[in-house]
Amino acid sequence: MGKDLVRGAGVGLVVGVGLGYPVSRLYEEDIEAYTVMPGVAVGILLVVPAGWLLGIWLRIAHPIRSALLAPVLLLVLKNAADLAVPSPRPHLALLGFTVLAMVSYASAAGLAGTASPVPRVIAAVVVCACVITTATIQQRRTETWQQQLRTDLIASYNESVPLAVPDAVPGRTLMNVWTITDDVLALEYAKDRQSEPDVFVRISSSGDPHKACAAWGRDSEPCERLAADRWLSKKEANGRMVLFARVGRRLVEVDSTALSLDEALAAGSKLRAVSAEYLVDYEPPR
């Protein structure tokens, strides 16, 4: 059994270096995953036949058993390592992966070489541990990614997006929030969750209503002046109208085929301040 442990560690060294390099690149900063994943996928496909052939070459007692059990042990150990050190540097990831591969293949060779029922029990425990640790890591990675995305969005919104929404859009409920550019907030309104949005509001950090209306209305009827800071563009064919209004320093555009003029004026006349967290976390009422 002692010789099998040493020979198994030798197999693990080769597998660890070969598969560890593409795996370690996943930990590089600003890496595009699609450039690395093909190498990782090829390595995963070859890990069992490579372990088997190396086991035969190094004269491990049961090379096929070792080649099948070792990758499972390696996966469990890697998942455990990811839980302990989620973002190692690439060279440390390569070194750590190689060490884990040597431990996994040595353990697999030793377990496969004994006649006791212990290996079967250990294999069953390992498979269970593999499922549990993989699910745990995936959940934590998803939670971390979602939290980081939320943090980045909040920072982005605080930096340039107008933090305001219409005080009221008659007969409509806010359904969706997104941004068109860094300084333009887009809002979609509908009658309820089951209805398609039919009112679209865009809020810019600044802008001139007359110029915005003139640029928008090139293919429509001439812009109509409603007040000093209120301009209206209409399309008679489908009843669509777009109201351009200045509220404070912000430019508000109310775009709809469903609202009346009075309703559009009500939607574009007053804004209420909101937080970046409100916009990022917003969910329509049920």
Cα 233 to chain centroid distance, Å, stands at: 39
SS3 49: helix
For 54-123, the DSSP string reads HHHHTT-SSHHHHHHHHHHHHHHHHHHHHHHSSS--HHHHHHHHHHHHHHHHHHHHHHHT--SSHHHHHH
pTM: 0.58
With the CA atoms of 57, 61, 65 and 71 taken in that order, what torsion angle do they form, in degrees rounded to the nearest 10? -60
Per-residue tens of pLDDT for the chain, all 286 residues? 567 788 888 888 888 888 888 888 877 776 666 677 777 778 778 888 888 888 888 888 888 888 888 888 888 888 778 777 777 888 888 888 889 989 888 888 877 777 666 666 776 676 677 667 767 776 777 787 788 888 888 988 888 899 999 999 999 999 999 898 888 999 999 998 888 999 999 999 998 999 988 887 666 678 889 988 999 988 766 778 899 999 989 999 999 999 999 999 999 999 999 999 999 988 888 7
SS3 193: coil
